[in-house]
Structure 1
Amino acid sequence: MSHLLIELYTATPAWKALSAEQRNAFFIRIGAGMQQLDPACVAPLAMGRVASEVPHASAEQYYAVWQCASGADADALVAAISATGWHDYFATTNAVGAVDAMAQHLADLAAL
């Protein structure tokens, strides 16, 4: 069953303290880590800056949305991101879940 990983993240002081060269080296490491994932099982859908002017906006600065073929693939993606050292530089909130139809989602909420 298809799963999504939604990341919300903000740069930490440790990130801000890095030089441009150190940041570039880090992103090279990120790219190498992501190469280990099967693109048929893990695909980026969207990434960007969180809009702060909308009602109930998240306090985090950035987001990323990933489509994963299964829960196991989502778990592998979360582990791969962590292994790159991402969390040393970005405070992150992850939301992972199976992709449900609207009717199922509303039924789940109604059952609370």
Structure 2
Amino acid sequence: MQQIFVELYNYRPAWLSLDEAERRAFADGILGAVGGLAEQGVEVLGWGYNDPATDHRAPYDFFCVYRVPSAEFQRGFEAAIRESGWYGYFDQVAVSGTALTPADLLAGNVALQHPQPAAG
């Protein structure tokens, strides 16, 4: 099954307090790390701006969406994000789980199933 990982984030004051050269240096480090993800089996589905006109918009301005090879890999990916210093600069929430068919998820909703931790 496909494992999907979504990051939603906003700027923190610490990011706004950096000058442009400091922001560029940090962003270049992130780009270097992202550039190596494909070799590890990660598909970057897209990064983007959260459209302000979106109905029932989440209160985050930016998103990143990935298809990752496993929940175990994702836990390591999450650790790498934490270790990069990302959370000092960005307020982030994440969404992840195994991708299901619409019929399978809706059947679970009908049965009042709740999320379970993904298997390794």
- TM-score computed with the length of structure 1 as normaliser: 0.90
How many residues in Structure 1 have an aligned counterpart in Structure 2? 112
CA distance in 2, matches of 1:99, 1:54: 23
CA distance in 2, matches of 1:48, 1:34: 14
Which structure 2 residues correspond to residues 59-78 of structure 1 after superposition, within 5 A? 59-78=59-78
Match of 2:28 in 1: 28
* Gapped regions of structure 2 (runs ≥ 5): 113-120
Percent same amino acid among aligned pairs? 29
Give the conservation status (yes or no) of the 8 Å contact 2:37–2:43: no
CA distance in 2, matches of 1:55, 1:38: 32
Give the 4+ runs in structure 1 shifted more than 6 A: none
Match of 1:102 in 2: 102
- Matched to 2:25, the amino acid is A
- Matched to 2:70, the amino acid is S
- Matched to 2:86, the amino acid is W
Give the superposition deviation at 1:15. Answer: 0.3
Give the superposition deviation at 1:37. Answer: 4.2
Give the superposition deviation at 1:40. Answer: 4.5
Supply the RMSD in Å over aligned alpha carbons. Answer: 1.6
Give the conservation status (yes or no) of the 8 Å contact 1:37–1:77: no
